[in-house]
Structure 1
Amino acid sequence: MPQLVREQHVDVFVGYHAFALQESDDAFLDLEFPDEFNFGTFLSTHPGRLDITSAGHTHTASLTVEVWDGPAPVQDSAAWEEQAEADFESVSGQVAVWSMSLGRLDDLITLADSGGLWRVRVSSAGRADVKALAESEESIKGVERYLVQFWPADS
């Protein structure tokens, strides 16, 4: 049975409906965020990059990242408004969080001590609520929530 290796919580500033998780070693990347971002897709990928489209324009989302030693347990789809899976390669074992409006944020996510190939599942809830609040002038924090689960692709 797969075991949870690491869990990290990060507040992500979402700007223009978007944020990304990107390989920390920028020299590895052909395209850096936000180049060729696809606003029509919940989760899209480029080598070393996971682009995530939010339901809210400008707000702070809650992000929980889990790293597993094998396939992460499947999440109950009734608890999430969006879910998608993809492959991800990291050369450093570190992932940076990027905001469309602020660029690279200070938080780093550790996947492993070195690079490797990963499978990732992204789940999101609170999308309808954050979309409804988008017209308000209030500061929106933690309404939209994300769970991102990584596990080794060869497990």
Structure 2
Amino acid sequence: MIFIKQINKKDIDLCYELDSNTISLWTKEQWANEFKKDGTKIFGLLIKNLVIGICVFQVVLDEAQINYFVVKKKFRKQGFGSYLMSYLVKKCEKLKLKKLLLEVSQSNVTAERFYNRFDFSTVGIRKNYYKDGSHALLKEKKLTTK
């Protein structure tokens, strides 16, 4: 059974472990800080009781910034990422947000294609943003509020 649930700060180790085994974006301390930020929501995508994906987003006024989005490698290209992103878009629309924002490395072609399928468009570039010298693409999706 697939479901999505909000993750709380008692699950920092789980988040850090998934991150360490996928994109290694944040330290454990950075994960702890995410749980403390105003407007931040962290959702896990689960199969039975196994967390296979995580999405972190922060609501600021009438926008949301995706700060983290990942699905475990062995579960990729099976529709789980799309399931999680669709959930996030619907959640943001219910909150009457106008935009969903994110940044992605220009060298991460797979992720960029994924976001483009959800109508994210590139609205800016941060040159040499990542440690490897790659640029960050700033992407935006306009939301329809209901």
What range is the shorter-chain TM-score in? under 0.3
In terms of fraction of residues, the more strand-rich structure is 1
* Larger RCO, structures 1/2 (Cα 8 Å, 6+ apart): 1
TM-score (norm 1): 0.25
**TM-score, normalised with respect to structure 2:** 0.26
More helix by share: 2
